[in-house]
Amino acid sequence: MAFRTLDELPMDLRGQRALVRADLNVPMVDGRVSDATRLSAAVATIATLADRGAVVLVLSHFGRPKGVDPALSLRPVVAALGEVLGRPVAFVADCAGAEAEAAVAAMAPGDVAVLENTRFHAGEEANDPALVAAMARLGTLYVNDAFSAAHRAHASTEGLAHVLPAYAGRTMQAELSALQRALGAPERPVAAVVGGAKVSSKLDVLRNLVGKVDHLIIGGGMANTFLAARGVDVGKSLCEHELGETAREILARADAAGCTVHLPYDVVVARAFRAQAPSEVVNIHEIPADAMVLDIGPDAVEALGDVLKTCTTLVWNGPLGAFEIEPFDRATVALARTAAALTEDGGLVSVAGGGDTVAALNHAGVAEAFTFVSTAGGAFLEWMEGKTLPGVEALRQAA
């Protein structure tokens, strides 16, 4: 995919004002940032621009305000960003208009400021050309470093790329490069792990993947729906029985595309959904009527590990079982560790994404061993669905 990066900007950016769309939508507890992961992700881009002498103006949304809401101001995020950045960060009380223009005019080369929540303006989510123009007056160039918001066609994520010279920031560049390696132009064979509770939430993902990968591994509650569609009695398990025909249609698509779908043949069942609930491993055709499937069984996990050993590329979205509760985390942990070991040995390119996925890989202690782990939720899912992401497409057009 063609897009311009920071490497194509001059080394001396004095006299330039860079509007950087980052993702500062971080969790807060008692008025303080409780997880600075997204702030840390923005450091490389902000530091590169500031070190070259640009005035750096950071744009972001925060929460879902309906108009101006002091409780959703970005002001409390500023100090935390300054800490991870290791330099002073100012705050500008608007992201467009006369007050913002005056504040920006007083900034010196290399200064960094966070502008107020873009969603305080109704025109942000509407991608209003008037707001786009008002924001654009603050800067001379635009850098999108928020892949996590790239599935939204908003003023700060899409509109600005059409009116200012537009570039991908370091985080955006890393995301797009990883996704290209995973599904855009992957080395084959390719495996995809898709887990989670419901098939209904990932129908488009499954339909897209069966035409793109060689092996589709289905886990979580989704696997129960596919097993039931094949005539398996899944007892009291979470299952969307009404989607049986849809599951069979996906299986038929996979067969026609030469994609092997892997469903478990042994599973872990329990009568209660709680930590350390009594459980047992059974064949899928021996699931007790009063039990529920909460994880994939050890034999199936071992077989899936053997599948990964034959593959060169892996895309992972969603856990294999109820990983938040022991002992139903074992399949996810075991397969994740196999994937991590194959990656570290240089035989596998592994790309993972989605909120539960990141949590599961962190739980397994292997997130850092994967080739790339995306912290983008909705954008990662829409990319797996094969959809065009407006923020990414705008960068491509700008190039």
Cβ(32)–Cβ(76) below 8 Å? yes
Neighbouring C-beta atoms of residue 246, cutoff 10 Å: 18
Q: Using an 8 Å Cβ cutoff, are 239 and 199 in contact?
A: no
Cα 170 to Cα 225: distance, rounded to the nearest angstrom: 40
Q: Which of 17, 21, 38, 330 is the catalytic position? A: 38
Residue 152 assigned as binding residue: yes
Nearest Cα to Cα of residue 91 among 101, 76, 105: 76
> 87: annotated binding-site residue?
no
3-state secondary structure of 341: helix
d(CA 219, CA 97): 50
Is 63 annotated to bind ligand? Answer: yes
Q: Are strands 279-283 and 266-270 parallel, antiparallel or unpaired?
A: antiparallel
Question: Is position 38 annotated as part of the catalytic site?
Answer: yes
- 53, 97, 244, 355: the catalytic one is 355
Local structure of 153: helix, strand or coil:
coil
Q: How far apart are the first and last CA of the chain?
A: 10
- Our measurement of the distance from residue 291's CA atom to the centroid of its chain's CA atoms, rounded to an integer in Å, reads 33
Given strand 313-317, what is the order of strands in its sheet? 260-262, 215-218, 190-194, 313-317, 349-353, 372-374
119 labeled part of a ligand binding site: yes
Contact yes or no for 275/266 (Cβ under 8 A)? no
Q: In degrees rounded to 5, what are phi and psi of residue 318?
A: 105, 145
**Tokens 């007083």 belong to residue:** 106
Q: Please say if 236 is a catalytic residue.
A: no
Residue 66 CB neighbours (<10 A): 9
Burial level of 249, CB count in 10 A (0-12/13-18/19+)? middle
Is residue 64 marked as binding?
A: yes
Cβ partners under 8 Å of residue 356, min gap 6: 195, 196, 318, 319, 323
Measured in whole angstroms, the distance separating CA 352 from the mean position of its chain's CA atoms is 8
- Of the candidates 75, 87, 181, 198, the residue annotated as catalytic is 198
- Report whether 83 contacts 45 (CB < 8 A): no
Residue 387 is assigned to a ligand binding site: no
168 has which bridge partners? 5, 144
Q: Is 61 annotated as a binding residue?
A: yes
CA distance 139 to 92: 14
Which of the following is catalytic: 53, 82, 235, 378?
A: 378
Say whether 24 counts as a known binding-site residue.
yes
Asked if 21 is an active-site residue, the reply is: no
The verdict on whether residue 23 carries a ligand-binding annotation is: yes
Flag whether 324 is marked binding.
Answer: yes
The yes-or-no answer on residue 230 being catalytic is no
Is 25 known as a binding-site position? yes
Beta bridge partners of 19: 57, 142
Annotation: binding site for (2R)-3-phosphoglycerate: 38, 119, 152
Annotation: binding site: 23-25, 38, 61-64, 119, 152, 202, 324, 354-357
Annotation: binding site for ATP: 202, 324, 354-357
- Residues identified as active-site: 38, 198, 355, 378
